[in-house]
A = this chain, B = another copy of it.
Amino acid sequence: MLREAIYHRPKNNFAYAYDKDTLHIVLQTKKDDVESVSLIFGDPYDWKDEMWQTQILEMTKSGTTDLHDYWFSAVKPEFHRMRYGFQCSDKTETIYYTEGGIYSTPPMEIANYFCFPYLNKADVFTPPSWVKDTVWYQIFPERFSNGDRSNDPEGTLAWGSTDPSPTNHFGGDFQGVIDHLDHIVDLGIGGIYFTPIFKAHSNHKYDTIDYMEIDPQFGDKETFRRLVKECHNRGIRVMLDAVFNHSGYYFPAFQDVLENQEKSKYKEWFHLWNFPVKSEPRPNYDTFAFVGSMPKLNTENHEVREYLLNVARYWIEEFDIDGWRLDVANEVDHAFWREFRQVVKEAKPDAYILGEIWHDSMPWLQGDQFDAVMNYPFTNAAIEYFGKNEINAEDFASTITKVLHMYPKHVNEVAFNLLDSHDTPRILTLADNNFDRVKLLYLFQLSFIGTPCIYYGDEIGMAGGQDPGCRACMEWDEQYQDRQLFNFVKSLNKLRKNEPVFGNKADFRIVKADNSKNYVIYEKFNAEKKLIFVLNNSSNTLQVDLQEITDQDLLEWNMEG
């Protein structure tokens, strides 16, 4: 057995409280190396005749990557405490893996075992329950619909009259969204994620001037209140974008610094290196990336924290929004996000907190900070396989299995699974304008574990490259919309809703990945039912003998869209 590949460590994706009574335990071993794994466990205080009392439970192989197998067990320790170890067997030997190391017989000393000390409810990762059943729709407000010409900024162009540029404006606004809620309802959406709506000069509004004001080009607070109400009336939640890592250049506090320099009462609001503060030729203060017009906010400063936390509270309490998406979330300190969570959950216990993090995000998903992150590792695997055909079926299967084993199960269940966004090319463009590939992407996304997000316009076949290309005006003329694609996505959303095993209430497992014929088979299952998905990623007709996969009777259903 390859001892060097065996890995486990408590209090992350390898061992966590799934709910207040249940622990999930995961073990990593080398791929195809171990034949069976059992969990040895017991209450640390349960002794008889000076012997620690244990039970044993066979673990299930939950997935395989290019290098590793993963083994899973769920346990409900009666007194909420557990010590445990692993018994691993292959054809030639049985070994015992514990915190103390690897042994040939079960160690007698309880101190050697792994420890999950206590299942305290306060520490359980608890996302809002509605998120699991939500399909999101992302709107870039400047480009969704111009419903009110009276609030158009100077120089607004006719809708869709030209390509989007980094600086042009088309007058999209809240009234436009309200006007088109039917489209969103028809598609089967449960939540809208709006990129920033607060006062800012740019068309994307990531350079905030005033976090307490709606940008007038979108409407006013009353329009926004009406928008939220209209959404709620239709069972649609509303999530806003919080750009708290940095402010815009014209944020009054930063302007005050530029004007009053060392005398500014806001000089502690930023990370200034020296005086005089200047943004040219290179900023002498911390910024987002190297963008002088986006000075990084000093969230360690008490006043800044108070200000931003007040913003977080205000839009929930006054406008009843349902979630915050946090821009550049991983560059802000954890301490701030912990306070942020307390404030948000106090204002609305079932608000959703979504961090923009493109990487492995375990440190933010422990229950004390975010409910979810934008799941780009999922995105990348899906795009590279179904979108671009750049990786083979086995690599795709391996990566998706890795993605699912990166986080606890309840973290995966509310992960924000996007295929593209305002920060990437659109899926149709990524897929080289191949609609079949786009359909495979949607089928995979919408049958996967997590909470999927559709980027506005993708559902009717809009194309577009990297920003600004992906931010074009929504196409409302049905004759230019791909209605077949729309209906395909709509029918998937219906399935997701009406068939729990298709949707977010089942387990996922890769069954087969075939490089030569370029297809993958995966299954979604719960105790009662199993759905088998065969996704042909080649342009050839595929014949698969499903009797190889299962000996159960099969009901076949061909997803032709």
Binding site for B on A (CB under 8 A): 2-5, 7, 9-11, 30-31, 44-45, 66-68, 79-81, 99, 101-102, 111, 114-115, 117-118, 120-123, 286, 289-290, 299-300, 330-336, 338, 357-360, 362-363, 366, 368, 376, 380, 399, 402
Q: Closest residue of chain B to A65, judged by CB?
A: B101
State A399–B99 Cα separation when bound (angstroms).
11
Whether A330 contacts B117 by the Cβ 8 Å rule is yes
**A10 surroundings in chain B (CB, below 8 A):** 360, 363
- Chain B neighbourhood of A366, CB < 8 A: 363
Contacts of A338 in B (CB 8 A): 338, 368
Bound: A334/B363 CA distance, A? 14
Taking CB as reference atom, which chain B residue is nearest A329? Answer: B117
- Contacting residues, chain B, for A368 (C-beta < 8 A): 334-335, 338
Q: Given known contacts A299-B122, A333-B123, A335-B122, is B9 in contact with A360 (CB within 8 Å)? A: yes
Bound CA–CA A14/B399 (angstroms): 22
What is the CA–CA distance of A2 and B68 in the complex, to the nearest angstrom? 12
Cβ-defined partner of A67 (8 Å) among B4, B30, B380: B4
Taking the closest CB of chain B, its distance from the CB of A391, in whole angstroms, is: 11
Residues of B within 8 A of A67 (CB): 3-4, 102
Chain B residues contacting A402 (CB-CB under 8 Å) are 101
Given the interface pairs A115-B360, A117-B331, the reply to whether A30 lies near B9 with Cβ below 8 Å is: no
Q: Contacts of A102 on B, CB cut-off 8 Å?
A: 67
A345 to chain B, nearest CB (A): 12
The 7 closest A-B pairs by CB, nearest first: A120-B333, A4-B5, A117-B330, A45-B289, A115-B359, A118-B331, A122-B333
Q: How far is the CA of A300 from the CA of B120 in the complex (A)?
A: 9
Among A290, A357, A376, which residue has the most Cβ atoms of chain B within 10 A?
A290
Contact B4 A123, beta carbon cutoff 8 Å: no
Residues of B with C-beta under 8 A to A358:
111, 115
B31 engages A330 (CB within 8 Å): no
The answer for the CA separation of A359 and B81 in the assembled complex, in Å, is 14
Q: Which residues of B contact A330 (CB under 8 A)?
A: 115, 117-118
A420–B524 CA distance with the chains assembled, in angstroms: 53
A320: min CB distance to chain B, Å: 26
How far apart are the CA atoms of A230 and B346 in the complex, in Å?
46
Of the candidates A44, A79, A101, A336, the one having the most CB atoms from chain B within 10 angstroms of its own CB is: A101
Checking B30, B44, B111, B115 against A380 with a beta-carbon cut-off of 8 angstroms, the contacting residue is B111
Distance (whole angstroms) from the CB of A318 to the closest CB of chain B? 26
B300 touches A332 (CB 8 A): no
Residues of B within 8 A of A4 (CB): 2, 4-5, 30-31, 67-68
Chain B residues near A286 (CB-CB < 8 A): 79-80
Tell me the nearest residue of chain B to A46, going by C-beta: B290
Of A9, A338, A357, most B-chain CB atoms within 10 Å = A9
Between-chain CB contacts (< 8 Å), 26 pairs = A2-B4, A2-B5, A4-B4, A4-B67, A5-B5, A9-B360, A66-B101, A80-B286, A101-B399, A101-B402, A111-B358, A115-B359, A117-B330, A117-B359, A118-B330, A118-B331, A120-B299, A120-B300, A120-B332, A120-B335, A122-B299, A122-B300, A122-B336, A123-B334, A338-B368, A363-B366
Q: In the complex, A114→B330 CA distance in Å?
A: 13
User: Which of chain B's residues has its CB closest to A81's CB?
Assistant: B331
**Whole-angstrom distance from the CB of A302 to the nearest CB of chain B?**
11
Q: A11-B362, A115-B330 are in contact. List 17 more A-B contacts (CB 8 A).
A: A2-B5, A4-B31, A67-B102, A79-B286, A80-B286, A81-B331, A101-B402, A111-B358, A115-B359, A117-B359, A118-B330, A118-B331, A120-B335, A121-B300, A123-B335, A334-B368, A363-B366
- The residues of B that contact A81 with a CB separation of less than 8 Å are 331
**Residues of chain B with a CB closer than 8 A to A357's CB:** 117
Smallest beta-carbon distance A260→chain B, Å? 25
Residues in B whose Cβ lies below 8 Å from that of A7: 7
**Smallest CB separation, A149 vs chain B (Å):** 39
Neighbouring B residues of A123 by C-beta, 8 Å = 333-335
Q: How far is the CA of A31 from the CA of B402 in the complex (A)?
A: 25
Docked pose: A402 CA to B112 CA in angstroms: 13
Inter-chain CA distance A120–B271, complex, in Å, is 11
